Structure 1
């Protein structure tokens, strides 16, 4: 059983998302779109699955610093935990800020900002590669003498705090706004309007932004998203596109010093080309709210219901995998992780190009059946497993075939436009 507080909080996440959906209905607001919300969750699943492998490197690095370089070993009690909580949040501020100000780091963090909506599902949208860059900002805590287990646990609670601030259903919160990060402050952070970009990097305490000059009050409603929209519902592509685009830019840049600047200067920096010399930081443009439209691809209601059903199956399977991964052999972990990522790739593609994705989706259905048969090996339940597996394949294949053949409708199954 994984004791990671983030994993254990999954049921609470979905309970709160359900409450926000009820509020949406009661207030007649458009907070959610099915395709966007499922992509957010898909990115979260991708991050949690990849973390099973990346966290070994990150935790090992922290542990090595703690074992060989720590100046003292700090005891674990309530007041050292409180101090560590504040210090973790301080380190988070700088890790987060640098993830916006260093292009290489931004490639891992941009995933979290790609959604053009703002609701609790956006909190789940995390980049898989971000931890590889941000982990170095926490090493001073190991040097000070905070042990690895306590650090990992406290860091999880700093992350958990940030879930509830991803909502438009809570307005400004009075005096709390001076000390704590709130939904109002974080809505600013997710805005792509020039005045809001690279502001309010705090995790828990907004005082860091006030101290270091990155604070911005929420004024007009932000336009959410990034200046170069993803324009895709594919969680795998969401993680790969930033680095593929960066790689192409590096290939087109002849000078090595300019390549280094592309990696380590701010996102949007471009090398200057003689004689025009038009390089440097390219500031973002104002958003024309009269012409701005969110990316959206609408399929038939039947196809949307199919994707929703398959996402539920994939999420349940992934949750079971994350809760039990410690009991699996490494080849089994790799196989299950591959199936999860393959499922997200296929289902995301169905939202965009369903006709071309049918063969891929059929392969995914068969692979899911094989996984159920492999991990469900039990003489007592084998007949039930065979019946369930066969039914799943038949129902899914027929549903997929009829859904893709159905005419596209302008009234897709979305919770908001």
Structure 2
């Protein structure tokens, strides 16, 4: 069983999101949009399933350094763990800060900032590539002699702490604002207003930002998101959009030295002969959040399918160590495929219906293969048959409704 604190806390995430929704409703705050929230969680789902493979590499390298280059043999106890947790957050600060200040690294972090809302679901909007640009920031902890198991625990708790600060339901928190990262401090971090950009990088503690000159108090309400909106509900594209832009802009730069500078300078940098640095601008009064509207029955269909996706993802992550490599790849593929399929509904893509029919058949097969040893085959087969029939009927009803709306608009 996977005992990662992040995986174990999955049920609590959704309980807290439900509480936040109720709180925001009482505060008469819109809070959530289904398409945005689903995309946020989808990015987290993809991050977790790809992390099954990526984290093996990052933790493996950390372990090699620890076993061969550690200067000390630090014992595992509550005091050394508290020291590790503090030092981990210091390393996190620099990894996070450089993820904002280096264009290539920003490609791995921009995913988390691309939502134009600010609620607990945004905390789950994590990148699938960020580990490649940040894992080496923690190597000094291995050289000092901190156990890899303790590092994984500190990392998980640090990430768990950051979940609850992604909310507008909580205002300023008095004396805690002086040394802890709080919702107010982190709202600043997610603002796209020029005064808020690249501020408040701490994970658990805000003191590092105050020490190193990147602290900004929350003043006016931030406008959330990124200066070049991704304008998509496709979590796969959300992960790749910045890299695609980088590829296009690198092709414009003729000099190899400038190409390297483009990779490692701040996002927005270009050589002077191509216009120079493009500084962020204040959001205009005509700024509108990216949105698409589909009939309610389409949203309910996504919600229905999403419940099953989360059950499959949760089971996979909890039991991942028991699966063979090929099963891990196969289940990860169908999970990622499903998250992309949902974006086809939200974005009204023509390719949605034929691939969704195929996806339901493959998804049903995966459910059978994973659960036939846990649930009696007659019961499981009946459940899957009902699931597939309901899905197909619902799909074709939605398609008829879509055709009627299209015909009425012509």
Please tell me the TM-score bracket, short chain as reference.
Answer: over 0.9
Q: C-alpha displacement at 1:271, in angstroms?
A: 1.9
Corresponding residue for residue 389 of structure 1? 384
Corresponding residue for residue 414 of structure 1? none
Corresponding residue for residue 408 of structure 2? none
Of 275, 278, 287, the match for 2:275: 278
Across the aligned residues of Structure 1 and Structure 2, the Cα RMSD in angstroms comes to: 1.5
Q: How is 1:300-339 mapped onto 2 (pairs within 5 angstroms)?
A: 300-339=295-334
Q: How is 1:128-277 mapped onto 2 (pairs within 5 angstroms)?
A: 128-273=128-273
Of 356, 361, 374, the match for 2:369: 374
4+ residue runs over 3 A deviation = 407-410
Q: How is 1:330-349 mapped onto 2 (pairs within 5 angstroms)?
A: 330-349=325-344
Q: C-alpha displacement at 1:400, in angstroms?
A: 1.3
Three-state SS of the structure 1 residue aligned to 2:164 is coil
Check the 8 A contact 1:303/1:404 in 2, yes or no: no
Corresponding residue for residue 40 of structure 2? 40
Separation in 1, partners of 2:400, 2:94: 50
Corresponding residue for residue 358 of structure 2? 363
1:91 aligns with 2:91: yes
Of 270, 284, 293, the match for 1:298: 293
Separation in 1, partners of 2:13, 2:397: 33
Separation in 2, partners of 1:392, 1:20: 30
Separation in 1, partners of 2:21, 2:233: 21
Q: How many residues align?
A: 405
Per mean C-alpha deviation after superposition, the further-off stretch among 308-317 and 201-210 is 308-317
Q: Which digits, 9 at most, give the CA deviation of each residue in 1:251-280, with x for residues without a partner?
A: 23221111111111100001222xxx622x
- Using structure 2 for the length normalisation, give the TM-score: 0.96
What are structure 1's unaligned runs of at least 5 residues?
Answer: 411-417
Three-state SS of the structure 2 residue aligned to 1:270 is coil
Q: C-alpha displacement at 1:137, in angstroms?
A: 0.4
Check the 8 A contact 1:108/1:128 in 2, yes or no: yes
- Using structure 1 for the length normalisation, give the TM-score: 0.95
Three-state SS of the structure 2 residue aligned to 1:262 is helix
Q: C-alpha displacement at 1:354, in angstroms?
A: 4.3
Corresponding residue for residue 287 of structure 1? 283
